[in-house]
Structure 1
Amino acid sequence: MEKKLKDLREEYLKIPIPKELNDVVQAALNEKPRKKPRVGRNILVSAAAALLIVTASVNISPAAAKAMSDIPIVEKVIKVITFVEWKEEANNSSAVIKTPAISGLENKQLEDSLNDKYLSESKQLYKEFTDSMSKLKEGEKGNISVESGYVILTDNETILSVQRFTDTISASSSTESQFDTVDKKNEVLLTLNSLFKDDRYLQVISENIKEQMKRQMAEDPEKIYWVEDDDLTAFKGIDENQSFYINEDGKLVIAFNSYEAAPGYMGAVEFIIPTQVLSDLLVGDQYIH
């Protein structure tokens, strides 16, 4: 894992640095992952300065070693760490991009594939941000804020669920997330299909979500979901690729990005599916109970 992270870090740093940047600092990251992403945060930006900080928190300083020692460990010592971070401010715009890395899996193929994916996502996001800045005319302000990071949603003896999120604020705001749930004992990546005996779960979960949407709207007039039959964008149901994770209580959570199931002001929305609704469909109770 150490060699892999070193190779990835070297690859990561090959991205061309804008000419106006005059300082690159590598330091240990002492900040722990945030508990929950928030949309609409205030971000201080500078129109006159650009700053790029690359932080690799793997075996590069005593401070990094201290940070590693503070990370909670489990039986197999499977960890999620901040591998590298980009920060940039320019033209009244800002980007903060944190890349996670998973270490400690004996299944190195799974570990490497996840870390490669996380790195690729971050590099693409950074490229999109710098490309948008380069297209601005002289004196024009971008007025864009991008924050990307990760949240450890579940970390127990059985399950590791990690969310990667990107909050974008410009003329409007949006949140996009991806989720990975790993069986730590068997070291396999769980899919929605793998949790159920057959595809009947698709309709059962979809109907439960519709019921929750309607109930929430009846209880709170401020909430709106696209669930009415006469709505052209109405939520029809989930498919096997639907975003999900398993929470600390062993419950299945179905997640939607901004604008997928509700107007933008609702942000990203989630629905906890009652286990009793799923009990006859599950392959077992080792994950969901």
Structure 2
Amino acid sequence: MKDERLNKMNQEYHEIPIPAELRQRVEAGIREAKKEQKKNKMIVFVKTAGGAAAAAVIAITVMANSGAGIAHAMAKIPVIGAIAEVVTFREYRDITENMSANVKVPEVEVKNEDGTVNQESTDAINKSIQEYTDEIIDRYKADVESAGGEGHQEVDLSYKVITDSDRLFSIRFDKLVVMASGEETVKIYHIDKQTGKMINLSDIFKEGTNFIDPISNNIRKQMKEQMAADENVSYWLDSEVPEWDFQSITADSTFYINENGKLVIVFNEGDVAPMCMGSVEFVIPTEVIQDIVQDGFVQ
């Protein structure tokens, strides 16, 4: 009867749809456990919560005759990943004559799989955010001082968590500076939940692979298609001023993974198109990068 029940539970476990990466990690741990203590039995239950930010929760039950061998094997199951979240924020606000600023500064906390704070990663991302926002605030204060009350300027910096998947946590900053005209810039910070470390574009690809050329070529293709379809769309491509033309992305180009699991490359206003186009984004088809991107980042 016990064997029948175990077989049934094992069958139910295998019928549960779970991420491939998570299944591989758990099954690797089970194989190790079986090697170290064949007489013991391990049953793994997995539940998944719905939604883009859903995280898998594992409960491991060790059956009869469990001992030090099984416990040691369980310790070898790879960690599933870090947890990153915005825990608080502060806001800098100022109105001086016809100049104003509203700068939101979040504080991010990165936790290890066991719930303890990963202080190194937490300090690193918050230090970067602090330096970035301090620079914006200091620039505004300097502009106010130099204008002597006669300037006209609005500075607005907002943020949002743009990606919170099983593999990646990304927080995006959108800055708008309005004077005679507006200027839009985008800054995005990323945490790889598998390592708990801050990463840039190059880190989502397999080591030693050429991701710059295929992505750059696809962006050029999209630019040409958009311009052919709409006369109001213009990019710096094959223009009369070659040095202005888009050449390629870089290893640390701004990016994010959208809600459909697609890589999106972001350019600030004026980078690859006239200022009137604002900041522009290009969704990269998965087939362009599927052989070179690391598992768990895109779909």
Structure with greater helix percent: 2
User: 2:188 maps to what in 1?
Assistant: 179
- 1:224 counterpart residue number: 234
- The question of whether the paired residues in 2 share the 8 Å contact of 1:155 and 1:248 is answered with no
Aligned residue for 1:86? 92
Partner of 2:27: none
Identical residues among aligned pairs (%): 30
Matched AA of 1:285: D
**Cα drift, residue 190 of structure 1:** 2.7
The secondary structure found in structure 2 opposite 1:200 is: coil
Structure 2 residue aligned with 1:262: 273
Matched residue, 1:191: 200
Give the letter aligned to residue 97 of structure 1. Answer: V
Match of 2:217 in 1: 207
Query: Relative to 1, partners in 2 of residues 1:286 and 1:77: Cα closer, same or farther, differing over 3 Å?
Result: closer
Counterpart residue number, 1:150: 159
Which residue identity does 1:115 align to in structure 2?
N
Q: Could you say if the C-alpha distance between residues 82 and 230 of structure 1 is closer, same or farther in structure 2, counting changes exceeding 3 Å?
A: farther
Which of residues 142, 146, 162 is equivalent to 1:131?
142
**CA displacement at 1:182 relative to structure 2:** 1.4
- Alignment partner, residue 63 of structure 1: none
1:29 is aligned to none
Matched with 1:160 is 169
**Unaligned stretches of 5+ residues in structure 1:** 1-71
- 1:96-115 → structure 2 map (5 Å cutoff): 96-106=102-112, 107-115=118-126
Q: Give the CA deviation at 1:82.
A: 4.2
Q: CA deviation at 1:129?
A: 0.8
Counterpart of 1:173 in structure 2: which amino acid? G
Larger radius of gyration: 2
Note if contact 2:110-2:196 (Cα within 8 Å) is conserved in structure 1: no
- Choose the corresponding residue for 1:118, options 129, 138, 158: 129
Change (3 A) 1:81 1:172: farther
Judge conservation of contact 2:83–2:193 (CA < 8 Å) in 1.
Answer: no
Is contact 2:166–2:296 with CA below 8 Å preserved after alignment? no
- The Cα shift of 1:159 comes to 1.8
What secondary structure, in the 3-state scheme, does the structure 1 residue paired with 2:261 have? Answer: coil
Runs of 4+ in 1 over 4 A off after TM superposition: 72-77
8 Å contact 1:253–1:272 — kept in the other structure? Answer: yes
Structure 2 distance, partners of 1:82, 1:257, is 27
2: CA distance between counterparts of 1:217 and 1:148? 31
Shift in Å at residue 186 of structure 1?
A: 2.9
For the residue of structure 1 that corresponds to 2:295, the secondary structure is coil
Displacement of 1:230 in angstroms is: 3.4
Distance in 1 between the 2:100 and 2:129 partners?
Answer: 20
Quote the Cα distance in structure 1 between the aligned partners of 2:241 and 2:286.
29
Q: Give structure 2 stretches of 5+ with no counterpart.
A: 1-52, 58-81, 113-117
Judge which range, 207-216 or 162-171, deviates more: 162-171
Aligned-pair CA distance for 1:155: 1.4
Q: How many angstroms does 1:264 deviate by? A: 0.7
Q: TM-score, normalised by structure 2?
A: 0.67
- C-alpha RMSD of the superposition: 2.0
- Alpha-carbon displacement from aligned partner over 1:30-87 (angstroms, at most 9, x marks no partner): xxxxxxxxxxxxxxxxxxxxxxxxxxxxxxxxxxxxxxxxxx8967663214421011
CA apart distance, 1:153: 0.7
Q: Confirm whether residue 279 of structure 1 aligns to residue 290 of structure 2.
A: yes
